[in-house]
Amino acid sequence: MVSELPHEFRKFSRNCSHLRRILKETNRCLEEITSGEREHALTIAALEKIAGILECHPALVVLGQSCNAKACLVNALLGEALLPLGGSLWRWIRIQYGLTSHTALTVGQQFEVVEHLHVNEKPWTTLPEDDLRRSECDERLWPEHSTVLEVQIFHPLIQDSVHIVIPPDCESFKPSLLIEMLHRNLNKSLPIFIYALEEDTLSEYNISELEKLNQVFPNIPVFFVCTSGSLPPPYPQELTESEQHQLQENKITYRQAVTDNKISMESDIESIDKSLHSLLQHLTSLGYLNLKNPDLDKPRIKSQPYGQLSISSEFIDGLHKLDKLLIFIRGCLQCHLVQAANTLNDIQGQCIQKFILSAFDMAREIQITPRRILYAQKKEGELYKNLMAISNEKQEEITQLIQVTLKDMKDNLVEKAGDYCYQGEGKTVLEERKNLSTPNQDSNPDPPTINSVVSPSFRHGPLGPEPSVTLSDSEEIKSAQSVHIATVEIQNWVLSWLSDSVASQLVKSVDCLQDTFVGTLQRCLESLEKNCQDQEGSLLASAAVKQILSAAYNVELTTSSSSSVLHSFIERLRKLLHGLQLPWTQAPRLDSEWRKRVATEMLNSLNAARLARSISSQFRDRVRSSHEAFQAAMHSLESHYTGHLVRTEEQRVAIRKLHAPRLARLSLESTSLSDMVQYGKL
């Protein structure tokens, strides 16, 4: 059965080529899809891992207790005496396939060492012991710069890119160094470990070596061979025609027996020599074998979950049972193939699932986006018409609302005006000494600071900010201009309170602002604008709706638009008189009583009808400008989605008719390959 190993390696190489083709087509399929429709980094990392497995070539790593044991095992595998028996202190040996026999010394798998080899002096069938031995230079440079004897032979076992690696025996060094070097040298290989035993006990060095091997390669089994048994049968080419015919019949019988479970993997353990039981116990304690019963010393085969494969370590007590190595190597190769095929199939399944979800999302977007745009335009149009109708038709209601508000807040505002602090007095702009409130003003927001109360024309003149109010310790003015500045501050402060209160009452009285569709309209616009946030002006639609809804709060009241014509004339005359103040006249005190008097005069001079007209006009202008901005933004959104939906439909059709069917076919091929490897012919 050892003669069938080349067939197993050839079948493994053929399956790897098939899986590489599937992987290549999968990569090509995923590259045609935008990165937004797949987890790019995760998928690429998994595919690179699979490619790494498929690019590796099998390597038979022959470890052992001595060079003699390893030589016996390698010769039995090859069916010829390639290595001499009874040697020691060997260097690294790598056996590869070649059309002609050739040997060379290399360092680091890159540089060839120019050294005289006895094998080159004459034709050979067995390598000379002197060429295998480490030189004194090797001993000094080992293990950092150890040499490797590269051997090329024409043999069917290693024809399909298979290597045989034989590590050196180096009991003078720590076994951890050897295993770490082995791990580096097997970087691009699929190692299959075979351990040759020639004694019935394990030395301390052997135990340390196996422990380190289990640490560095925790999931890789080891095939233990006791080389003291009889030799295996020869290769078919060394038999006569009748013997080859008989061997072929035996193979067919063996396959049928394994298929029908007539041959047990544990049946031969009962016939193991009792002298090897201590060796089995050692291997069991190291975690390589699993004895079901210490009395029977039968290795137990591990149960495997469905769709996965793993092979456990095996032990044979002689080279005459080397046929079991075929099943062991087949299992190792199948594990690599099944792992790669299942990983690839998982990626393909995830991508197909994403395709299905993406296709549904695209179809939904194509259907619902035009409806969302129509809904937003319709509801905003209704809101605009209602607000314009309110501003045009409810002048009397707004006038009554202003009159009621003035009546309710007059006393409260006058008291608060007495506690007002002028700008630039070293305190906050507005400071309330008492927490005053009226029953109808509980919901009013806090009044703004003087920077938002005073109009820009008052705060900043042509050459910069106007001077602030300057008072003496007795609250007397230091300049004639301070009276006018203080008066304007008080008036604007009163108007700010009135504006906030009227705006709050106005919003409460407008029924259309309380409708439930307003929130739905805002959410609809936000969802439409998510896909075009990178475009300039893409957020104007939702901002325009917010401006429409807050138009009532943005109304500004000024003295010119609030007071009557007579009051405006009196104010101008008062300003002129204050500017012409004579030196012998007493400077007025801008105390609390003066502030209350100014606030009272301001409230008494307010004209409710004029205020209503000003509020309606400002409200109407703001709603109209916001409506125009909304229409421009919706036109931009429609232009964006016209091209976007066309591209989305093209992607949906490509996924449904091209990418998904192709990936589904590749998924079927990968899962079929995995099933064939696991349940196909032996």
445-496: per-residue pLDDT in tens? Answer: 343 333 333 333 333 333 344 455 555 554 555 555 667 777 777 777 877 8
Pick from 13-17, 554-558, 563-567, 599-603: least confident: 563-567
Max mean pLDDT among 401-410, 485-494, 507-516, 519-528 falls in: 519-528
Selection from 414, 454, 440 nearest residue 557 by Cα: 454
Amino acid at 527: S
Pick from 200-204, 207-211, 405-409, 531-535: least confident: 531-535
pLDDT (tens digit, 9 = 90+) per residue, 90-135? 888 999 999 988 888 888 666 667 677 877 778 888 898 888 888 7
pLDDT for the residue 477: 57
Confidence band of 536 (pLDDT split at 50, 70, 90): low
Indicate whether 649 pLDDT > 70. Answer: yes
pLDDT over 90, % of the chain: 16
Report, as an integer, the average pLDDT of 56-77: 92
- For the record, the structure tokens of 11 come out as 């079948």
Any bridge partners for residue 60, and if so which?
A: 164, 192
Query: By CB neighbour count within 10 A (0-12 exposed, 13-18 middle, 19+ buried), where does 613 fall?
Result: middle
Angstrom distance (rounded) from CA 8 to CA 160? 10
pLDDT (tens digit, 9 = 90+) per residue, 339-363? 889 989 998 998 888 888 888 989 9
The answer for residues whose C-beta is within 8 angstroms of residue 84's C-beta and 6 or more apart is: 71, 126, 127, 128, 129, 132
Angstrom distance (rounded) from CA 24 to CA 347? 13
Angstrom distance (rounded) from CA 28 to CA 32? 7
Task: List Cα–Cα distances, 397 to 83, 393, 505, 557, 613, in angstroms.
Answer: 112, 9, 11, 18, 11
Report, as an integer, the average pLDDT of 620-639: 86
Angstrom distance (rounded) from CA 668 to CA 431? 78
Pick from 140-154, 259-273, 418-432, 504-518: least confident: 259-273
pLDDT for the residue 9: 93
Report, as an integer, the average pLDDT of 154-181: 86
SS3 568: helix
Confidence band of 671 (pLDDT split at 50, 70, 90): very high
β-strand pairing of 460-461 with 464-465: antiparallel
pLDDT for the residue 275: 66
Report, as an integer, the average pLDDT of 427-443: 38
pLDDT for the residue 138: 66
pLDDT for the residue 417: 75
| Structural contact between residues 673 and 337, judged by C-beta atoms closer than 8 angstroms | yes
Higher pLDDT pick, 585 / 264: 585
pLDDT over 70, % of the chain: 69
Higher pLDDT pick, 416 / 585: 416
Indicate whether 582 pLDDT > 90. Answer: no
Confidence band of 427 (pLDDT split at 50, 70, 90): very low
Report, as an integer, the average pLDDT of 147-176: 87
Indicate whether 195 pLDDT > 50. Answer: yes
Radius of gyration, CA atoms only, the chain:
47
pLDDT for the residue 3: 81
Confidence band of 638 (pLDDT split at 50, 70, 90): confident
Q: HEC string of 211-280?
A: HHHHHHCCCCCEEEEECCCCCCCCCHHHCCHHHHHHHHHHHHHHHHHHHCCCCCCCHHHHHCCHHHHHHH
Angstrom distance (rounded) from CA 636 to CA 366? 18
pLDDT (tens digit, 9 = 90+) per residue, 253-279? 444 544 443 334 444 445 556 667 788
Indicate whether 526 pLDDT > 50. Answer: yes
The domains of the chain are located at 2-349, 367-661
Average pLDDT, the chain: 75
pLDDT for the residue 301: 37
- For the record, the structure tokens of 448 come out as 């703004």
Confidence band of 422 (pLDDT split at 50, 70, 90): low
pLDDT (tens digit, 9 = 90+) per residue, 5-43? 999 999 999 999 999 999 999 888 887 775 554 455 567
- For the record, the structure tokens of 425 come out as 């007095």
Angstrom distance (rounded) from CA 573 to CA 109? 105
